[in-house]
Chains A and B, each alone.
Chain A
Amino acid sequence: MKPEASQLTRRDILAAPGLLILIPLEELLGTQEPARLPQRPAYPEDFNAYLRIAPDGRVTCYVGKVELGQGAMTALAQLLAEELDVALDAVTMVMGDTESCPWDMGTFGSLSVRQFGPVLRAAGARARAVLLEMAAERLNAPAGKLEVSEGVVRDPVSGRRISYGELVQGKRIERRLDQAPLKTPGSFRVIGRSPQRKDALEKVTGRARYAGDIRLPGMLHARILRPPAHGARLERVDTSAAEKVPGVRLIRDGELIAVLHEQRDVAERALGMIRAEWGRAPETPDPETIFEHLLRTAPPLRGVHEAGSLEEGARLSKDIVEARYLNGYVAHAALETHSATAHVEGDKATVWAGTQTPFPLRQQVAQALGLPQQNVRIITTYVGGGFGGKSASRQAIEAARLSKLAGRPVQVVWDRSEEFFFDTFRPAAVVRVRAGLDGAGRMVLWEFDVYGAGDREARQFYDIPHQRTRSAGGWSGGNPPGMHPFAVGPWRAPSVNTNTFARESHVDTLASRLRVDPVEFRLRHLSDPRMRRVLEAAAARFGWKPAPAPSGRGVGVSCALYLGTYVAVMAEVAVDKATGRVQVRRVVCAQDQGLVVNPDGSRQQIEGGIMMGLGYALTEEVRFRGGHVLDHNFDTYAIPRFSWMPRIEAVLLDNPEAPASGCGEPPIVNMGAALANAVHDALGVRLLRLPMTPERIREALRKA
């Protein structure tokens, strides 16, 4: 497949015969995160197709979402195939191509299925209704009496049949989205099943194309000169040796200095020959002083939620417990580094990018090149892991600028050191919690102030009469300059890993002071039946035996709510007291995500979230000094490995009547607290800071 010819343009799609279902802008906007909407460009009024049925019966679905590994390609196709009554194999997903797909703000927030699913189902149902009307005319039978299976309409009375493809033959039909009844869970054939993933064959054969796998005639690989530290300015540079390497092209455009060559490794070698002198970088805090720095530089606390009266809560409290919970910066560290291939020809640009935000990227590339937006096309390839880190796509802008300057296609694939340097880290954060217990052992006071992480799901869900939640600064921007010394951004379940760690650690502390079993203590304060149900399901699968902590067994629990998904985790750990090393033996995760579109896909996300979560809980923390990021590769920045793998059990609670609420992010959020609680249960010491490295565990034991 030639990449240039891989996808049709807007005009091709509009002009081609078949049935096209268009979705009005308002429906689309409902699927976006309202906070991000101001970013949206003026919407092109002309075109917003979601779905096309061609005369050969193939269904093509155009969506702005992208496949990051989370399985959206398969789950979205399932939703459509269900309502349309076609085979899953008949559906082709075109994802994240700005030329043919309707505008979308980006793939994050576990939104793909949660908010986008209903629109897609409606489009499928609408198309089916239109096709049935057409079939009724052709078969001369009432539409209500016809049956559909795998894209073929049948009249049970006459036995005559006609396929969707035949119905649209030689016609060009355009319809807008309109109300059409959706199927009910009882009649699902495709939703709730786990078919083979649509990306499976390409991924096991090495044929799946990522942005760094694009090969174009005349393409050059670029390596870019980077400062040693954030804030360091280039003072002198000598590129003469690099320019002598045969076949090398040197490009300089202001601060952007790059060497280009047909072979990436040769470009790399030439880059190493550039002699550059850099000024000193400004001083920044370090991983130890960052927390005081955050408290000092944070904007004023903003109210998130308040109920009852804190004075009254304090008056009722017999025991008030305060603590400060900390976590450092964490990298996304997707296995694929940021990659892009750009081809700028005259006043047109095409960029193949590993990105979570193709539409915002189109705007950025257009601006960087001084082109109108409609002259820029972003084609999203498979993405080798995102986790929020590929919401920022600087590499694609670099590739576009270099292609324009070089007059040839240019590929930019960051090396691992660039990846750590330019990552938009999960922010370091401080959470202050103050909570009170009354004489009957009930939580009556809860004060929760989060600095640096953000307020998502910061609000308490346990029943506490007097409470207040506030937040200052966060991952989504608007921080005073210098508060976070690095770029920060969304990291799988932004804010929520931090907020859950603090809340669930503190709740456990209270239970422990009362000498009450932590599950029992939580249930006493939970009236939401969905939360009770996931906690009870986790306990049943885990075989939780009630006992106050610390029990010496090394078991821990944590509950969370994430954008409508309920999730409870139980973990068992073994801690080596001499080394401080934690081995996680077993993790049970029970989840209620409403309607489950693809159970196996949800299990994959649970397993993946648990494995990834071991990292931020136990080892992952970016080290830095004076603008330098000291981690350059996986030798010092340790991410989870096979030998860390616990036995993982996922319990999916069936709840098809509740809307699908997303599953890519919720499973990771409990890992910090579940493991901190398990470590406390094993050792009797509580770690208030993540990650719980062996040194910190040894230190906590020494101090105990």
Chain B
Amino acid sequence: MQSTISFRLNGKPIQIRTDPDRSLLWVLRCDLGLTGTKFGCGAGLCGACTVVVEKEAVRACATSVGSVRNKQVLTIEGLSRNGRLHPIQQAFLEQHAFQCGFCTPGMIMNAYALLLRNPQATREEIIRAMDDNLCRCGSHPRIVEAIEQAARTMRAGGAR
């Protein structure tokens, strides 16, 4: 059943005509050409497809595009502004908190939602919040370091 769906994507209003039951992941990747959001499992189990909807981290593979109607959707492509990396991206870059990089967009978006919700997140809270995001390369120690670093930067005024 086709219908017209409007939402804000990375700060810009967009409108598409499609079946509202389709998953947000494939609408982003196929219809809108935003390939930064990754497919890793298709079943809500890996977090590679994590995007932020209205300040909450969601799994785009398990989210229908109809459910984001009139909402704000943020993907990895929308995180840096005016060519400046977000502090979380900057910290991932400096810590080399990736190897193959395939989990990275999902990790960054999940961390973004975590720090919005809890700017004071402790190491334990970071580990708990990130636990359902999988990384096969074993970048975990650096990802935790990077999120801690970003949290410090953002608290010191680098936040947006």
Contacts and interface: CB of A to CB of B under 8 A. Distances in A.
Interface of A: 68-71, 196-197, 199-210, 212-213, 215, 221, 262-266, 333-337, 382-387, 413, 415-416, 600, 604, 607-612, 633-635, 639-643, 645, 648
Given A204-B85, A215-B33, A643-B128, 11 more contacts: A69-B99, A204-B104, A207-B36, A263-B22, A263-B30, A264-B30, A334-B102, A334-B136, A610-B138, A642-B140, A645-B127
Given A264-B29, A336-B102, A633-B41, A69 B128 contact: no
A70 B139 CA distance: 11
Contacts of B75: 206
B101 A382 contact: yes
Interface in B133-151: 133-144
Interface in B14-68: 22-23, 25-27, 29-31, 33, 35-43, 45-46, 48
B65 to A, nearest CB: 10
B134 A206 contact: no
A386 B89 CA distance: 24
Contact of A265 (B30, B33, B38, B130): B30
B131 A641 contact: yes
B99 A611 contact: no
Given A205-B89, A206-B105, A265-B26, A609 B35 contact: no
A243 B36 CA distance: 31
B136 to A, nearest CB: 5
A68 B80 CA distance: 25
Contacts of A197: 96
B61 to A, nearest CB: 9
A70 B99 contact: yes
Contact of B100 (A209, A212, A335, A635): A335
B76 interface: yes
Interface in B69-125: 75-77, 79-80, 85, 89-90, 92-94, 96, 98-105, 108
Given A204-B89, A206-B36, A641-B134, A604 B127 contact: no
Contacts of B98: 69, 200, 203-204
Nearest to A414: B39
B101 A69 contact: yes
Interface-central residue, B40, B93, B136, by most chain A CB under 10 Å: B136
A642 B125 CA distance: 11
Interface-central residue, B40, B98, B100, by most chain A CB under 10 Å: B100
A612 B138 contact: yes
A382 B42 CA distance: 21
Contact of B99 (A201, A333, A608, A642): A608
Contacts of A205: 36, 76-77, 79-80, 85, 89
Contacts of A612: 136-138
Contacts of B30: 221, 262-265
Contacts of A204: 85, 89-90, 92-93, 98, 101, 104, 108
A219 to B, nearest CB: 9
21 contacts: A69-B98, A200-B93, A205-B77, A208-B101, A215-B35, A265-B30, A334-B100, A334-B136, A335-B48, A335-B136, A385-B99, A600-B96, A604-B139, A611-B139, A634-B41, A634-B46, A640-B140, A641-B140, A642-B133, A642-B144, A645-B141
Contacts of A608: 99, 137-139
B134 A263 contact: no
B100 A336 contact: yes
A612 B101 CA distance: 16
A52 B102 CA distance: 31
A223 B144 CA distance: 36
A250 B31 CA distance: 21
Contact of A200 (B26, B80, B96): B96
Nearest to A215: B33
B60 to A, nearest CB: 11
Nearest to B101: A203
A446 B93 CA distance: 49
Contacts of A221: 30
A542 B137 CA distance: 24
A207 to B, nearest CB: 7
B100 A206 contact: no
B102 A210 contact: yes
Contacts of B143: 642
A382 B105 CA distance: 14
Nearest 10 A-B pairs (CB), nearest first? A206-B36, A69-B100, A611-B138, A384-B102, A203-B101, A608-B138, A69-B99, A206-B76, A213-B35, A265-B26
Contacts of B46: 335, 634
Nearest to A638: B134
Nearest to A264: B26
Nearest to A68: B100
B40 A643 contact: no
Contacts of B103: 335
A265 B76 CA distance: 21
Contacts of B43: 416, 633-635
B101 A199 contact: yes
A416 B23 CA distance: 17
Nearest to A647: B141
Contacts of B37: 206
Contacts of A611: 135, 138-141
Contacts of A600: 96
Contacts of A639: 134, 136
A221 B140 CA distance: 32
A598 to B, nearest CB: 10
B52 to A, nearest CB: 13
A263 B23 CA distance: 11
Contacts of B33: 215
B68 to A, nearest CB: 15
Contacts of A645: 127, 140-141, 144
Contacts of B94: 196
Given A336-B40, A610-B138, A641-B134, A633 B102 contact: no
Contacts of A643: 127-128, 131
Nearest to B33: A215
A634 B134 contact: yes
A421 to B, nearest CB: 14
A89 B40 CA distance: 32
A635 B105 CA distance: 21
B96 A416 contact: no
A596 to B, nearest CB: 16
Contact of A634 (B22, B45, B80, B100): B45
Given A69-B101, A206-B76, A385-B100, A609 B42 contact: no
Nearest to B129: A642
Contact of A633 (B45, B80, B92, B141): B45
B137 A212 contact: no
Contacts of B25: 265
A3 B30 CA distance: 17
A384 B100 contact: yes
A113 B56 CA distance: 43
A211 to B, nearest CB: 11
A336 B26 CA distance: 16
A516 B128 CA distance: 40
Interface-central residue, A197, A204, A607, by most chain B CB under 10 Å: A204
Nearest to A269: B22
Contacts of B104: 203-204, 206
Contacts of B127: 642-643, 645
B99 A604 contact: yes
